[in-house]
């Protein structure tokens, strides 16, 4: 390794401003290698004394050269001794429908964000706007009004120097305030620190396709007088916070039908809002819960801010990504190859490293620590996919590219599960593990026989193992490789980014694969497999996400780019395709006056972020 790990100025900038350790005015990490060494030694400290040095070296070799990219909180916090969390994001607890409950939840969110964690909330528990609050003699203002308080809290924390300000808000599609939620960000000044997603049920999708009526409902509180006594006015719905005595699943509770709308009209309103200003996203909640490996003890109704980790109350994200570009040999040549064995070895080391993060990290709240140690969830994914495809001569939108991507993610998934079984044999299974119930989970049932047999015999160390995060910042750190599974945004462009002193500087960004091509072949014409987001159809984005979903037990953060002139009827069909292709959620982005372009060439103070956070406030 040379004395300088960086070949791009933007990469050095990202390291210097986000991940380089300083103590007061003194620089501790002189080089990127010092950062890798700090992280490796910190995470090896939980190993047996005789093994620590060996594991520290193996961790370092995986990190070296940006082969494995741990989440940004790990890079920034491990080995610093600071009171920070190494987890990127959290889903917070159920927001109780009372003033005490609301402001307790606000405080918990503030404490979590102060330590560097993004947060997700399901606001479905809050009474709809206009509902009498009989105990206080007042009228409820609705969930969206309280979201503005969270938004102000986030802005205030950012003004104190907090590192991130990303939040996710979800609301059920049957909540009476769903239209207010859907329209909440039409005002370009409103809720700028939130990403919004609607929790869509299978029942709702069936109602949309049948053009049926759709009841908007809310639980009947025991304190409310005059509850209707006719079956037509009451439906039974499982609701957040209503837990059955027999287990963790939400208990169906009597819900008052506040009003009824046409399901198809509500669906069109959701999609029209997304078409016009990129929010809200859609989460297919029933599918998320049906495919949850811990279906037997938890119900999920929220995700981290970029959507790749659906989590139960107080759940946390422990993220990392394998940089696929580092496993390509003789790029762009006819005999270009991919080192699958090297990938497997890196995955094995990465899983152990990420598992150790759980034991090293601090947690803002005791409930978060209990959840993390109980499930030992991790989210190992990939980045640099689009660059890797180009280096192998594959067009992002081709069947061959999807086959390669699916096979690669399958390798990551299966090797991660095998490693977690080995870790369980060595260190024990995760605390919430119940053998028969876990083996009955649909995702686990689809694993190869040897993995299932290993789980049956030894248990498994981590309840979940794979996720594909946006990786925008850490991909910039790693020589500006393409982000996550996204296509290349642009082969070259300029961008203004924030400096340590609060000023902005402009950096020229060149895509990693494009720079490699120019270094080797000069001005030779680019092959047709050099593609960016503008040269791909939305269907190509969707098909790539669908190709990888079977090997992701958490979820995938993916933005489906849509041209400004794309017809609305075709746009609406993308969401039907996403549902039919088995995705857990769908996020699209069409350039619009409210949020601008998906990634601005110039990022200045006050610019509006797209649904997936920009590098000033994203989850990694």
* pLDDT > 90? residue 452: yes
Tell me what the mean pLDDT of segment 520-534 comes to: 95
Question: Could you tell me the pLDDT band of residue 619, with boundaries at 50, 70 and 90?
Answer: very low
* pLDDT > 70? residue 54: yes
The pLDDT tens digits for 322-337 are 999 999 999 999 999 9
Question: Could you tell me the pLDDT band of residue 50, with boundaries at 50, 70 and 90?
Answer: very high
Tell me what the mean pLDDT of segment 124-140 comes to: 84
* pLDDT > 70? residue 163: no
426 as an active site residue: the answer is: no
- Cα-flanking dihedrals φ and ψ of residue 257, to 5°? -80, 110
Question: Could you tell me the pLDDT band of residue 446, with boundaries at 50, 70 and 90?
Answer: very high
89 as an active site residue: the answer is: no
Instruction: Report CA-CA distances (Å) from 10 to 16, 258, 460, 499.
Output: 10, 53, 40, 11
Say which of 47, 279, 298, 308 is annotated catalytic: 308
Output the pLDDT for position 114.
87
* DSSP E strand stretches across 72-124: 89-91, 118-122
Tell me what the mean pLDDT of segment 420-435 comes to: 98
- Pairwise pLDDT comparison (131 vs 457), residue with the higher score: 457
Output the pLDDT for position 485.
96
Tell me what the mean pLDDT of segment 410-439 comes to: 98
Give, rounded to a whole angstrom, the gap between the first and last alpha carbons of the chain: 25
Taking each helix axis from N to C end, the angle separating 340-360 and 52-63, rounded to the nearest 10 degrees, works out to 120
Tokens of 260: 């009824």
- In eight-state DSSP terms, residue 348 is H
- In eight-state DSSP terms, residue 534 is G
* pLDDT > 50? residue 220: yes
Question: Could you tell me the pLDDT band of residue 249, with boundaries at 50, 70 and 90?
Answer: low
Residue 64 CA to residue 68 CA, distance in Å, equals 8
Question: Could you tell me the pLDDT band of residue 433, with boundaries at 50, 70 and 90?
Answer: very high
Using DSSP bridges, classify how beta strands 559-561 and 585-589 pair: parallel, antiparallel or unpaired.
Answer: parallel
Output the pLDDT for position 503.
81
304 as an active site residue: the answer is: yes
Tell me what the mean pLDDT of segment 371-391 comes to: 97
Q: Which residues contact 473 (CB under 8 A, 6 or more apart)?
A: 14, 18, 72, 615, 618, 620
Residue 397 CA to residue 201 CA, distance in Å, equals 30
Say which of 88, 304, 323, 356 is annotated catalytic: 304
Q: Which residue ranges make up each domain of the chain?
A: 9-86+317-458, 90-111+118-155+164-303, 482-589
Tell me what the mean pLDDT of segment 32-50 comes to: 98
* pLDDT > 80? residue 366: yes
CATH number corresponding to 90-111+118-155+164-303:
3.20.70.20
* pLDDT > 60? residue 223: no
* pLDDT > 70? residue 225: no
Distance from the Cα of residue 60 to its chain's centroid: 26
0.75 surpassed by pTM: yes
- Pairwise pLDDT comparison (249 vs 494), residue with the higher score: 494
Output the pLDDT for position 242.
66
Output the pLDDT for position 159.
67
Question: Could you tell me the pLDDT band of residue 164, with boundaries at 50, 70 and 90?
Answer: low
Output the pLDDT for position 2.
45
Decide if 306 contacts 613 (C-beta within 8 A): yes
The pLDDT tens digits for 74-93 are 999 999 999 889 998 899 99
Please state, for a pLDDT cut of 90, what percent of the chain lies above it.
78
* pLDDT > 50? residue 605: no
Q: Is 91 helix (H, G, I), strand (E, B) or coil?
A: strand
Using DSSP bridges, classify how beta strands 167-172 and 118-122 pair: parallel, antiparallel or unpaired.
Answer: parallel
Output the pLDDT for position 202.
97
Q: What is the DSSP string of 545-597?
A: HHHHGGG-SS-B--EEE--TT--HHHHHHHHHHHHHTT-SEEEEE--BTTTB-
The pLDDT tens digits for 88-114 are 889 999 999 999 999 999 999 999 988
The pLDDT tens digits for 273-309 are 999 999 999 999 999 999 999 999 999 999 999 988 9
Say which of 255, 306, 317, 413 is annotated catalytic: 306
Using DSSP bridges, classify how beta strands 281-284 and 194-200 pair: parallel, antiparallel or unpaired.
Answer: parallel
Output the pLDDT for position 247.
47
Question: Could you tell me the pLDDT band of residue 160, with boundaries at 50, 70 and 90?
Answer: low
Using DSSP bridges, classify how beta strands 118-122 and 337-338 pair: parallel, antiparallel or unpaired.
Answer: unpaired
* pLDDT > 60? residue 575: yes
Segment among 3-7, 132-136, 222-226, 439-443 with least mean pLDDT:
222-226
Size of the chain, expressed as the number of residues it contains: 620
| Residue 470 preceded by cis peptide, ω within 30 | no
């Amino acid at each position: 390794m040379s004395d300088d790990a960086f070949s791009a100025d933007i990469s050095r900038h990202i390291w210097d401003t986000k991940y380089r350790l300083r103590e007061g005015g003194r620089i501790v990490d002189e080089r990127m290698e010092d950062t890798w060494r700090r992280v490796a030694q910190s995470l090896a400290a939980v190993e047996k004394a005789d093994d620590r040095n060996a594991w520290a070296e193996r961790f370092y070799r995986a990190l070296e050269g940006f082969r494995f990219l741990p989440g940004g909180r790990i890079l920034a916090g491990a080995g610093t001794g600071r009171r920070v969390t190494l987890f990127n994001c959290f889903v917070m607890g159920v927001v109780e429908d009372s003033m005490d409950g609301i402001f307790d939840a606000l405080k918990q969110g503030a404490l979590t964000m102060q330590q560097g964690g993004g947060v997700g909330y399901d606001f479905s528990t809050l009474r709809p706007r206009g509902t009498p609050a009989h105990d206080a003699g007042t009228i409820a203002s609705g969930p969206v009004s309280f979201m503005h308080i969270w938004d102000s809290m986030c802005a205030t924390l950012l003004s104190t120097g907090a590192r991130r300000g990303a939040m996710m808000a979800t609301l059920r599609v049957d909540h009476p305030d769903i239209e207010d939620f859907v329209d909440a960000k039409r005002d370009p000044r409103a809720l700028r620190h939130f990403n919004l997603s609607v929790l869509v049920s299978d029942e709702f999708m069936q109602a949309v396709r049948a053009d049926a009526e759709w009841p908007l409902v809310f639980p009947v509180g025991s304190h409310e007088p005059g509850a209707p006594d006719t079956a037509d006015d009451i439906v039974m719905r499982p609701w957040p916070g209503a837990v059955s005595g027999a287990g963790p699943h939400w208990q169906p509770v009597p819900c008052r039908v506040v009003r009824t709308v046409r399901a198809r009209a509500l669906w069109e309103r959701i999609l029209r809002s997304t078409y016009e200003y990129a929010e809200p996203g859609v989460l297919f909640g029933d599918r998320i819960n049906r495919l949850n490996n811990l279906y037997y003890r938890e119900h999920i109704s929220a995700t981290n801010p970029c959507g790749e980790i659906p989590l139960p109350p107080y759940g946390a994200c422990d993220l990392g990504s394998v940089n696929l570009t580092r496993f390509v040999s003789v790029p762009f040549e006819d005999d270009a190859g991919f080192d699958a064995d090297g990938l497997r070895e890196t995955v094995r080391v990465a899983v152990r490293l990420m598992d150790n993060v759980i034991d090293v990290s601090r947690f803002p709240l005791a409930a978060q620590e209990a959840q993390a140690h109980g499930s030992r969830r991790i989210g190992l994914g990939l980045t640099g996919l689009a660059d890797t495809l180009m280096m192998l001569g594959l067009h992002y939108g081709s069947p061959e590219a999807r086959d390669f991507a699916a096979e690669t993610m399958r390798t990551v998934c299966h090797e991660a599960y095998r490693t977690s079984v080995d870790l369980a044999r060595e260190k024990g299974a995760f605390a919430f593990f119940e053998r028969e119930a876990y083996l009955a989970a649909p995702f686990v049932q689809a694993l190869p026989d040897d993995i299932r047999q290993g789980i049956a015999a030894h248990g498994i160390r981590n309840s979940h193992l794979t996720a594909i995060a946006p990786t925008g910042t850490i991909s910039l750190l790693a020589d500006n490789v393409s982000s996550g599974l996204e296509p290349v945004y642009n082969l070259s462009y300029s961008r203004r980014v924030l400096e340590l002193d609060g000023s902005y500087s402009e950096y020229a960004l060149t895509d990693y694969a494009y720079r490699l091509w120019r270094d080797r072949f000069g001005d030779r014409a680019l092959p047709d497999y050099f593609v960016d987001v503008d040269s791909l159809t939305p269907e190509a984005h969707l098909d790539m996400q669908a190709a990888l979903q079977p090997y992701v037990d958490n979820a995938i953060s993916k933005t489906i780019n849509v041209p400004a002139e794309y017809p609305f009827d075709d746009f609406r069909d993308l969401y039907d395709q996403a549902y039919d292709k088995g995705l857990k959620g769908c996020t699209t982005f069409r350039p619009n006056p409210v949020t601008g372009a998906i990634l601005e060439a110039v990022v200045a103070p006050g610019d509006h972020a797209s649904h997936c956070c920009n590098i000033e406030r994203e989850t990694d």
